[in-house]
Amino acid sequence: MFRGLHNVTMDSKGRIAVPAKHRDVLSKLIVVPNPMPGESCLLVYPIHEWEQVEADIVSRPNSGSVRQLKRLFLGQAVEYVLDGHGRVLLTPSLREFAGLDKKLVMVGQGNKFELWDESAWTALRDGEVDDGAAFVEELESLSF
């Protein structure tokens, strides 16, 4: 399970180092643009989790919205294997999609990480939630 927040730095070539404690699970990973409108981050899946997501999408009837999801999600997925230093070189298109600069944040989501530019993450964290009422309602439904 991926939880917590990890600050990472992207070098001038576009490489990021996966946090050491997650390198075994993320030795082979998939990075894909988040398909949710208004959430400009990348999703980082270990290969075994990605295969489940991919199988679910592929198994759906080939309607117009599913074809669009396949194009935007499956079609832009990039497979990586960590180099000897535990790094991946993000493609320019992925970096551009998420507006990634030097300082990044990996946010645990259970089965995956979200990879955000630090300034975008800070804005989201500090209250720029699209639907505040729905968020509060969801919080109230949790028992913690």
Contacts 24+ apart (CB under 8 A), 106-109: 106/5, 106/6, 106/8, 106/19, 106/44, 107/5, 108/1, 108/2, 108/3, 108/4, 108/5, 108/6, 109/2, 109/43
Tens digit of pLDDT for each residue in 52-95? Answer: 999 999 999 989 889 998 998 899 999 999 999 999 999 999 99
pTM over 0.75, yes/no: yes
When pLDDT is cut at 50, 70 and 90, the band that residue 37 belongs to is: confident
CATH (domain of 19): 3.40.1550.20
**What's residue 136's pLDDT?**
65
Range of the domain at 84: 5-141
pLDDT band of residue 25 (cuts 50, 70, 90) is very high
AA letter at 52: Q
| pLDDT band per the 50, 70, 90 thresholds, residue 142 | low
Name the one residue in this structure whose structure tokens are 């439904």: 141
Cα 54 versus chain centre, distance: 15
Domain count, the chain: 1
pLDDT of residue 33: 95
Tokens of 129: 């939630």
| In the predicted structure, residue 101 carries a pLDDT above the cut 80 | yes
Task: Please tell me which residue, 125 or 128, carries the higher pLDDT value.
Answer: 125
- Does the pLDDT of residue 137 top 80, yes or no? no
